[in-house]
Structure 1
Amino acid sequence: MLTPLLTLALLAAPGDKPAPATNATCPVLGGKVAEKSKTVAVRGREYRLCCAGCDTKLLKDPDKYLEKDGTPKNAKKK
C-alpha cells in the first residue's frame, strides 16, 4: 500500500514546478518559518513548515489549514 505522501507525489504531473513558498508562519501550527525551513507542495504551491509532522497534517487535510485561494487560514489579515 502506498503512503499518502507517495501517492500525492505520483499524482503530480512531471515537470510541473509549484509556486515558491511565501508564508512567514507555518500554516499548521503558526510557528515562525525561515527561508531554509522544510517545504511541502500542496495544490501547486509550496508552504514552509515550522517542524516535523506539519507536512503530514497539511497534506492530509489542506482544507483545514488553507483558504480556497491557498492563503493559510492563520495568516494575518491586512
Structure 2
Amino acid sequence: MLNLLLTLAMTATPQAKPATNAKCPVLGGKVTEKSKTVAVRGQEYRLCCAGCDTTLLKNPDKYLEKDGTPKNAKK
C-alpha cells in the first residue's frame, strides 16, 4: 500500500499556476475570476469565450511570450 501511495505521489501532475491575466490572450476580451481557464505550460490563463481555449492550446507561441506573458498584455 505504501508503495502505491509513493508511486502516485511521484507521478502526480504538478498543478498549474493560477491565472492572473486581465484580458483574453487570444481575442483580448475582458475576463473575470469566473471566466473559463486553460492551462498551458504550467500556467493557467483566463479566456473570454469557449473557442479561445482550442485556439490557445493549438498555437500558444502565437499568443504567449516565451516567459508565458500574454503578447497582448500591457508592458
TM-score, normalisation: structure 2: 0.83
Report deviation, 1:15.
3.4
Which of 5, 29, 32 aligns to 2:30? It is 32
Larger Rg: 2
TM-score, normalisation: structure 1: 0.80
Q: What's the counterpart of residue 16 of structure 2?
A: 18
More helix by share: 2
Secondary structure of the corresponding residue to residue 15 of structure 1:
coil
Runs of 4+ in 1 over 6 A off after TM superposition: none
Deviations 1:15-37 (A, max 9, x none): 31000000000000000000010
Matches within 5 A, 1:31-70: 31-70=29-68
RMSD of Structure 2 on Structure 1 (CA): 1.0
Give the whole-Å Cα distance in 2 for the aligned partners of 1:51 and 1:15: 26
Give the whole-Å Cα distance in 1 for the aligned partners of 2:55 and 2:30: 17
Name structure 2 gaps, 5 residues minimum.
Answer: 1-10
Give the whole-Å Cα distance in 1 for the aligned partners of 2:25 and 2:65: 10
